[in-house]
């Protein structure tokens, strides 16, 4: 069956949409081919008209309002304050009523809107980091869907941001209710999501957390579970601010994603981001795709199979149960255990033997085949299909002889993950003493208490004598029964015998016993004895790419390739075994400049020794190419022989100069060099050495502990390449005060009551808040008033908060959009007795960055000085008695995107170019960050560029912002923050510091957040105790 490629574009107000009509949607509509148009704030009237004129073609036209300013009259924003999200903290019904009313109000919804042909979207990239919020939001969208159905509108829910939500979020009760409703109305309702690879190198690149973790996530986590669900990708691309300059590659990759989703009947397409303004002028690149994509859609339809292959069942709830399993013997015939695992089985009991002298004819085959399969839990962790062997006990045979026979047939080197099982159903009398002898003998050899399979009917009818000791052994009970027989008081596994589901689980015969472990997946795994835990089993499923070069490669060629490996963060090495080893689902080996005559031999070698490894034969000139195959290896990756492996591992943020210096040494010693700690630990090898470069001395033990936990047996050593010495901490003196930046989220304090308690523990001399913080909160929540009440004597820094979003924001617009929030925050401070002299207003944030206005709202540092002076005049007129700060800059030098766009202007140059405005402000804000590649000494050097300016300096953001594992401990953070404060006290012109950050919903900030998941990490107490 042939289907059209369903792909189009995301529009905005302005930008570069030239040609979108003639070269794309008009061209497709004229041929009866579906097009995809999504637009924010700019209603796509022409596309809607084409959809109206082609009612039998399933076009996707979508529209959402993202800006506050009304067209004419009415409130400028919904009660949430943000058109993109409903108001948190109220009931779902109320949130829906408010949000829907605003988006459908006459002054907001364009008069041209026709809900019969255009999908309305009212939610975009909502809070997704808290399970409660996800379920609440599902209920809000359920009510929104009911409103849309009543109004006759098409409507798409969520607009999830890239990489979200978590897979298990689709299993919540409210979510299931919503998805059921959407499936019942596939022509009117849909799920909207966003998918980005976050790199322009490849749409499939960067999925360290497993296949389809980024692009293809909705396919993996949703459509394979609900194949008929209507779904649209309303933002699709490589990066928010960049797209590939190679148009042909971009079109090819758009097509590849289209092929992935094409088999699903209600897939509506993907809108390529972005033809609107801002965002690094990505529109200019994407505009070049318009004609070629239209031609590709017309000329090359997709060949689609009749149905998606191998859809897995929904995973169980993350904390729930029961957990599904089976039990098999020769009676099931030939078994496809891969299908069994795909059908949802997490464990299988396999018959090994009976009486003495009888062995199941299929045991060896079943045991080996089941042992090669695996499953992935809701957190992306890979686990083997858990096996348990069982022996059918015959009451007339000697118990010790039966035990010996059972153990003889289950190999000592692999007795399975689950405890061995005795099957008690022989219909003759058995004395408890005989059974005890059998089970004691097994325990002495195997070391685990056996599981007992039986039913109440057998225990009551055939078992005699004292059997109270059986209560110590887990019970596997048949048939399904909530009442365990004495002496047991609980059932571990319940059996539904002789179902007709064998074919579903890969069996040749239909008859199959289905079993239910009465607990969670976590509890089942605790029961299991996992094989070779210390021999390199991956801690989680991830995709590995290994760049493989020949031993005779020249140094200059190698270093050129190393530059590319540094850019793409690839593992580069000389070992064919390193390229194939490891129990991973997805393994890619890029073989550079291998003689063509050797290709077939190398294919054969990898197939023989490392089946499932996907090969690409490429050249230095071509770079990383497309693999010949796309196998899922099902955990095949045992080494062909035992060898001693040494892996040189560098941090993700190592400068290129240091990396290339190390690469030259790696070339000389023929070492594997990479960025992945998992790559350094993986593989069933007796001798594994991980050499870790440029890890601070204080973190060595934490790295050792990480390897001990995830890859025990790995020898870990540490080396340094041109690492700077750490700064010497002077003794404390001076008056700089310590403080904390409150929640990074507008609205209520994200950290709640725990965040308030963190401030109480710290006793700060200064507190920083966003102007958009809520002033009062309902019981059990926390807001500005709660924070001020406990910190009335502190200095207060209020940041005038506004999301620029690629817009050109004039001084007047900035003032209009921020003054009400700032005024409300100031009024709250004053209400608790905070004096004007203790209130500082920081006017904006990191203004040398492109997302914060550089290059759009001001073209140069001097332009910003003029802009800031205008803002100051407006603010001083409105709030004349306060103090105003020049905003903290993003520290560091010029930074450009791969296409040359200037993302950050050098901080020192920016300050110097806008220096004239410093006469107008009352003080200066500074941001200081450090991590292994940018040590504290450099952060202090950045701070010292502000010395001698004659103005008070507040460090309004500072932290160790290392965000890669292993992370610093609470003690590490605290000791560094105390040391940094002591450095500030050697600088009398620095008034204090507000460390970043008390709490944040953004996962990016979780490592440095003092409160996470509603719990304190203890940093405040440690800092306070240190003085």
Q: CA 428 from chain center: how many Å?
A: 57
Do 935 and 655 meet the contact criterion of CB atoms below 8 Å apart?
Answer: no
Measured at the CA of 658, the angle between CA 243 and CA 726, to 5 degrees, comes to 115
Q: Which domains does the chain have, with CATH numbers?
A: 2-303 (3.20.20), 323-527 (3.20.20.80), 543-719 (no CATH), 737-1025 (3.20.20.80)
Please list, in sequence order, all residues whose beta carbon lies within 8 angstroms of the beta carbon of residue 102, skipping any fewer than 6 positions away.
75, 77, 78, 79, 83, 108
C-alpha 695/C-alpha 230 separation (Å) is 48
Q: What angle do CA 944, 950, 955 make, to 5 degrees?
A: 45
Tokens of 1016: 């304190």
Do residues 370 and 418 touch, judged by C-beta distance below 8 A? no
Closest CA to 53 of 116, 4, 6, 111: 116
Which pLDDT value is given to residue 531? 46
Give the pLDDT confidence score for residue 977 in this predicted structure.
Answer: 96
Burial of 859 (C-beta count, 10 Å sphere; 0-12/13-18/19+): exposed
| pLDDT computed for residue 932 by the predictor | 82
SS3 content of the chain, % helix, strand, coil (to 5): 35, 20, 45
Q: Which of 376, 304, 308, 380 is nearest to 346 (CA)?
A: 376
Average confidence (pLDDT) per 10 residues, the chain, 1027 residues: 94 96 96 97 96 94 86 73 90 92 92 96 78 83 90 92 76 86 93 91 60 68 81 95 96 92 92 96 97 97 63 40 92 92 94 96 93 75 85 95 94 85 92 93 88 91 91 87 83 83 88 90 84 55 87 89 89 92 83 92 81 84 76 55 88 87 91 92 87 91 88 91 51 78 93 95 97 87 92 96 91 92 95 96 96 93 90 91 96 86 89 88 96 86 87 96 88 94 92 97 93 94 88
Q: What is the value of pTM for the model shown? A: 0.39
3-class DSSP state of 65:
coil
Q: Which residues contact 299 (CB under 8 A, 6 or more apart)?
A: none
pLDDT of residue 309: 41
**C-alpha pair distances (Å), 685 with each of 370, 412, 542:** 23, 20, 19
pLDDT score at 71: 54
Going through 450-570 in order, the beta strands assigned E by DSSP cover 451-454, 463-464, 475-477, 493-499, 512-517, 543-548
- Expressed in angstroms, the distance from the first to the final Cα of the chain is 72
The full length of the chain comes to 1027
pLDDT at residue number 728: 43
């Amino acid at each position: 069956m042939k289907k059209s490629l369903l792909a189009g574009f995301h529009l905005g107000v302005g930008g570069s949409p030239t040609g979108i009509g003639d070269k794309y949607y008009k061209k497709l509509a004229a041929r009866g081919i579906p097009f995809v148009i999504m637009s924010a704030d700019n209603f796509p009237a022409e596309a809607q008209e084409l959809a109206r004129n082609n009612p039998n073609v399933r076009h996707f036209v979508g529209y959402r309002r993202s800006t506050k300013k009304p067209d004419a009259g009415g409130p400028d924003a919904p009660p949430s304050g943000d058109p993109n999200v409903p108001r948190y903290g109220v009931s779902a019904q109320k949130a829906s009523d408010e949000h829907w009313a605003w988006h459908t109000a006459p002054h907001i919804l364009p008069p041209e809107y026709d809900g019969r042909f255009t999908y309305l979207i009212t939610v975009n990239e909502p809070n997704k980091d808290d399970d409660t919020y996800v379920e609440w939001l599902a209920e809000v969208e359920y009510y929104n869907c009911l409103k849309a159905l009543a109004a006759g509108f098409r409507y798409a829910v969520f607009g999830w941001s890239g990489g979200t939500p978590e897979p298990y979020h689709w299993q919540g009760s409210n979510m299931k209710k919503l998805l059921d409703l959407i499936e019942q109305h596939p022509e009117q309702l849909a799920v909207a999501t966003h998918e980005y690879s976050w790199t322009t190198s490849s749409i499939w690149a960067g999925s360290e957390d497993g296949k389809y973790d980024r692009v293809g996530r909705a396919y993996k986590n949703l459509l394979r579970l609900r194949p008929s669900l209507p779904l649209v990708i309303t933002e699709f691309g490589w990066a928010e601010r960049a797209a590939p300059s190679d148009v042909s590659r971009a079109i090819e990759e758009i097509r590849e994603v289209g092929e992935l989703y094409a088999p699903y009947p209600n897939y509506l397409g993907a809108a390529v981001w972005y033809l609107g303004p801002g965002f690094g002028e990505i529109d200019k690149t994407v505009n070049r795709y318009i004609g070629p994509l239209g031609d590709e859609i017309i000329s090359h339809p997709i060949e689609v199979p009749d149905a998606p292959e191998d859809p897995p069942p929904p995973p169980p709830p993350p904390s729930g149960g029961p957990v599904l399993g089976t039990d098999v013997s020769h009676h099931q015939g030939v078994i496809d255990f891969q299908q069994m695992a795909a059908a949802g089985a997490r464990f299988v009991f396999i018959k090994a033997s009976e009486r003495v002298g009888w062995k199941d004819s299929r045991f060896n085959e079943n045991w080996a085949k089941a042992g090669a399969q695996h499953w992935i839990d809701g957190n992306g962790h890979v686990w083997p299909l858990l096996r348990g062997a069982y022996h059918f006990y015959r009451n007339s045979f000697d118990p010790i002889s039966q035990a010996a026979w059972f153990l003889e047939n289950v190999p000592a080197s692999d007795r399975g993950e689950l405890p061995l099982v005795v099957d008690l159903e022989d219909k003759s009398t058995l004395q408890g003493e005989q059974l005890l002898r059998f089970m004691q003998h097994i325990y002495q050899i195997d070391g685990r208490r056996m599981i007992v399979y039986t039913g109440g009917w057998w225990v009551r009818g055939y078992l005699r004598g004292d059997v109270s000791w059986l209560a110590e052994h887990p019970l596997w009970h048949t048939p399904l029964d909530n009442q365990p027989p004495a002496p047991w008081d609980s059932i571990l596994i319940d059996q539904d015998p002789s179902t007709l589901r064998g074919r579903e689980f890969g069996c040749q015969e239909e008859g199959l016993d289905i079993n239910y472990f009465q607990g969670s997946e976590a509890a089942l795994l605790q029961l299991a004895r996992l094989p070779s835990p210390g021999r390199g089993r991956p801690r989680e499923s991830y995709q590995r790419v290994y760049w493989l070069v020949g031993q005779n490669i020249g140094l200059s060629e190698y270093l050129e390739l190393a530059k590319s490996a540094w850019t793409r963060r690839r593992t580069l090495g000389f070992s064919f075994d390193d390229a194939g080893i490891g129990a991973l689902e997805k393994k890619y080996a890029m073989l550079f400049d291998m003689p063509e005559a050797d290709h077939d031999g190398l294919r054969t070698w990898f197939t023989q020794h490392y089946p499932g490894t996907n090969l690409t034969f490429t050249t230095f000139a071509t770079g990383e190419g497309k693999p010949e195959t796309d196998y899922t290896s099902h955990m095949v990756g045992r080494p062909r022989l035992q060898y001693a492996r040494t892996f040189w591992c560098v941090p993700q943020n190592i400068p290129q100069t240091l990396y290339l210096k190390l690469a030259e040494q790696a070339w000389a010693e023929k070492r594997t060099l990479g960025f992945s700690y998992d790559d350094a630990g993986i593989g069933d090898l007796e001798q594994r050495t991980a050499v870790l470069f440029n890890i601070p001395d204080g973190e060595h033990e934490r790295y050792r502990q990480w390897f001990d936990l995830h890859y025990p047996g790995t020898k870990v050593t540490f080396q340094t390449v041109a690492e700077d010495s750490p700064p010497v901490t002077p003794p404390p003196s001076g008056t700089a005060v310590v403080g904390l930046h409150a929640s990074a989220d507008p609205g209520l304090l994200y950290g709640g009551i725990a965040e308030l308690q963190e401030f109480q523990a710290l006793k700060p001399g200064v507190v920083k808040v966003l102007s958009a913080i809520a002033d009062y909160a309902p019981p059990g929540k926390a807001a500005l008033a709660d924070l001020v009440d406990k910190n009335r004597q502190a200095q207060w820094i209020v940041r005038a908060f506004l999301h620029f979003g690629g817009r050109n924001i004039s001084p007047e617009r900035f003032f209009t959009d921020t003054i009400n929030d700032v005024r409300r925050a100031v009024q709250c401070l004053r209400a608790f007795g905070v004096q004007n002299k203790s209130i500082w207003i920081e006017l904006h944030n990191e203004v040398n960055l492109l997302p914060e206005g550089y290059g759009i709202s001001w073209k140069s540092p001097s332009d910003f000085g003029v802009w800031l002076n205008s803002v100051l005049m407006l603010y001083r007129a409105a709030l004349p008695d306060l103090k105003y700060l020049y905003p903290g800059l993003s520290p560091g030098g010029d930074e450009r995107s791969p296409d040359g766009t200037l993302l950050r202007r050098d901080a020192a140059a920016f300050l110097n170019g806008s220096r004239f405005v410093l006469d107008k402000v009352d003080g200066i804000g500074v941001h200081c960050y450090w991590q292994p590649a940018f040590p504290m000494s450099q952060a202090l050097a950045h701070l010292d560029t502000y010395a001698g300016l004659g103005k008070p300096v507040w460090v309004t953001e500072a932290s160790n912002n290392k965000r890669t594992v292993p992370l610093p401990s609470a003690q590490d953070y605290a000791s560094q923050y105390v040391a940094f404060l002591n450095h500030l006290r050697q600088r009398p012109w620095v008034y204090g510091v507000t460390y970043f950050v008390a709490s944040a919903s953004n996962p990016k900030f979780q490592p440095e957040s003092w409160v996470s998941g509603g719990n304190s990490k203890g940093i405040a107490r440690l800092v306070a105790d240190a003085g």
